[in-house]
Structure 1
Amino acid sequence: MRLAAIVAALLLAGPAAAQDVIVLGEVHDNPAHHRVQAQRVAALRPKALVFEMLTPDHAARVSPDLIGDADALADLLDWANSGWPDFSYYYPIFAAAPDAVMYGAGVSRDAARGVMETGLATAFGAGAAEYGLDAPLPDDQQTAREALQARAHCGALPPEMLPSMVDVQRLRDASLARAARQAFDQTGGPVAVITGNGHARMDWGMPALLALAAPDLVVRALGQGEDGIPPGGSFDEVTDAPAPERGDPCAVFN
């Protein structure tokens, strides 16, 4: 490999040079963030890819021969009905690691409702205590996370719903951590995780729960900001990109 290509690969890899799991955050509708993710995945050449956007069932259907056909892959994953941004944003990430084993950590709506009906630990199932789901959050973190949920829903949620919304986010964090741990155990890593910035943050997101359950794993996290504003939380590295044009995110609540 030419020296320039080696240097470029190292620059793209950033802190991914020495880790078992690299968590690549995003703002879901920012195409620039997905380009960075695809570049990092190509440089890392992970043995496994974990997607917040895939259910375990959908991930199990992905095979290397399908990754060469974007339309067929999108159809297989029923992406048009998934609620995620256009598949063209995500397809380059799949294509960057065609031989990686795919894992899904998506939480279904039924599972999210289960949090409200049966409680967080029961909804997660076996191993909940390993990921800290059997214990309440520290008061300051609970308050901060409820405030984030209130802002994310434009103040439209009744205050009594906010603790359940935080629990759903904890379920998503733990599901990502469990999938990453399984991926590492089954493939030997490295593992790349594709998820939103909120789940990628080191202080209380998926990396924090993975550290509880598998403290020997080396985990690094990338957060991606917009227009010079960094994402909330702590990360090993933060990049920045222009924000895409967006309508009023609160219009749906009016």
Structure 2
Amino acid sequence: MRIALLLTLCLLALSGCAGRQAPPAGPAPAPLPPAGTLLDSSGRPIDEAEFTALAAKADVILLGETHDSACDHEQQARLLRLMSGPWATTQAPAVGLEMVPYTGQEALTRFNRGETSLADLPQALDWEEVWGYPFDLYEPVFAAARELDLPVYGLNAPHSVVRAVAHKGLSGLSPEERALLPQKIIAPEQAQLDELREVFSMHGAMRGAGGTDDDAAMKKAMEARFNRFAEAQSVWDTTMAKEALSVHAATGRPVAVIAGGGHVENGWGIAHRLHVLAPEVRVLLVMPWRGDGAIPSGYADVLYVCPLVHRFRLGMTLRQEGGRVVVQEVAPDSLAARAGLTVGDVVTRAGDEPVSGMGDLHAAGFAAVRDRKPLRLTVERGGKSVPVSIDLPPMGRP
């Protein structure tokens, strides 16, 4: 579950990397149910009517995602339709977006009024600059909102301000920057803070931050960086919670929030801030499920099944399924193609470590970049183990 939190760290650091996911403990997980299967918190399959009944009891429905997963966004759009369809017993939701700051609402308001087409929306939002992930991944969500006449709202703090917090802390903001944030930034619960610290430490180790464990100055610098990172995470979550409550009050609708899983899982991120700001608010946590082991207690109220697919900058697209990582696509003339990687290869080792999930590959990739060495993989192909060595460009990222 750390993959979503580490992705947030990478976004704040402007590194564009994906996160690490802890490998499943014990026996290999059972085959993943079909994409779109809905599960309750225990892993029991539920039908669409059950989901709709659960959503009808909530004021805020947090729909978590991995940002570059097309399957996740298709399922989010499907859930919006369920909450707006014949089984719905409450008013159809408004849609709140992590991807768009509340300062960009004017463009969304024109979209809500039908004045801006879906085709013109990316330019109106300056999507590539504001968010960066391809708009076509999110198009199903916007298309569903347009089809169902669901008003869409930006919830996030301006990204430039969040990045400023990550680089210089809340105390380093200019008065103009600070005025764009909630007056009170709600700190993480201890459990989230512990998780953030573990993820931050792992990220630093993978990047090879320099210095030694005995270097007092380095320790002090890393602690200051962590504190800024935690502040930035809190700014993100507090602002989105505050804005979601404002949308709920202004529209009288439940609010379906589209946000990265790190802001949703375990109720630590947005949900914690919602309950501090409005203790009576009813929240439903919805997360994607990849089939990686048992569902942790408290992780989410509802899960939708989507295999994890990630496109690496080395030119390979990998799919995680049932504790295996399979090559789904190799871009022609890419670094991966030139190294001999082929569709259908099963990645079994990265460096000297076994591979059971995407996170293992990211860790190996960071280590290779740090050590300025090729990324060494072992793949299973036609019943044989085949070594593959992918050269990395200077300062490249996996």
Which residue of the partner structure matches residue 155 of structure 2? Answer: 105
The answer to which structure has the higher helix fraction is: 1
**How far 1:13 sits from its partner (Å)?**
3.4
CA shift in 2, pair 1:15/1:117, >3 Å: same
Tell me, in whole angstroms, the C-alpha distance in 1 between the residues paired with 2:292 and 2:306. 8
Tell me, in whole angstroms, the C-alpha distance in 2 between the residues paired with 1:52 and 1:227.
Answer: 25
Letter in 2 for 1:20: D
Which fold has the larger relative contact order, with Cα–Cα distance below 8 Å and residues 6 or more apart in sequence?
1
Separation in structure 2 between the aligned mates of residue 230 and residue 81 of structure 1, nearest angstrom = 38
Unaligned runs of 5+ in 2: 1-45, 85-91, 210-220, 313-360, 370-395
Q: For 1:168, which of 232, 242, 254 is the aligned residue?
A: 232
TM-score by length of 1: 0.81
CA distance in 2, matches of 1:170, 1:22: 19
Q: 2:170 aligns with which of 115, 118, 124?
A: 118
Cα distance in structure 2, aligned partners of 1:69 and 1:11: 34
Give secondary structure in 1 for the equivalent of 2:206.
coil
Cα distance change of structure 1 residues 65 and 79 upon mapping to structure 2, 3 Å threshold: same
Structure 1 unaligned regions, length at least 5: 1-6
Given that 1:51 and 1:106 are in contact with CA atoms closer than 8 Å, whether structure 2 keeps it comes out as yes
| Residue 190 of structure 1: how far off its partner (Å) | 1.2
Structure 1 residue 245 displacement after superposition: 3.8
Residue identity matched to 2:140: P
Which residue identity lines up with residue 118 of structure 1 in the other structure? Answer: L
Contact 2:165 / 2:232 at 8 angstroms: preserved in 1?
Answer: no
- The verdict on how the C-alpha distance between 1:229 and 1:86 changes in structure 2, with shifts beyond 3 A counting, is farther
Residue in structure 1 matched with residue 99 of structure 2 by the alignment: 53
Give the secondary structure class of the aligned counterpart of 1:235.
coil
Q: Residues 37 and 154 (structure 1 numbering): CA distance in 2 closer, same or farther, change over 3 Å?
A: farther
Of 116, 132, 142, the residue aligned with 2:193 is 142
CA separation in 2, counterparts of 1:120 and 1:39?
Answer: 42
Q: Which residue identity does 1:184 align to in structure 2? A: H
Pick one of 161, 169, 187 that aligns with 2:251: 187
Deviation at 1:229, TM superposition (A): 5.4
TM-score by length of 2: 0.54
Distance in 1 between residues matched to 2:294 and 2:233, nearest whole Å: 20
Partners in 2 of 1:219 and 1:212 — Cα distance? 12
Aligned pairs for 1:73-92 (under 5 A) are: 73-92=121-140
Write out per-residue CA displacement over residues 17-58 of structure 1, whole angstroms, 9 at most, x where no aligned residue: 321110000011111111110011112133421100001132
Aligned residues with identical type, % of pairs: 23
Moved more, 30-39 or 112-121: 112-121
AA aligned to 1:105 is L
Give the CA RMSD over aligned residues. Answer: 3.1
Q: Secondary structure at the match of 1:34?
A: helix
Are residues 237 and 40 of structure 1, via their aligned partners in 2, closer, same or farther at CA, if it must alter by over 3 Å?
same
Match of 1:4 in 2: none
Contact kept in structure 1, 2:60 and 2:257, CA below 8 Å = yes
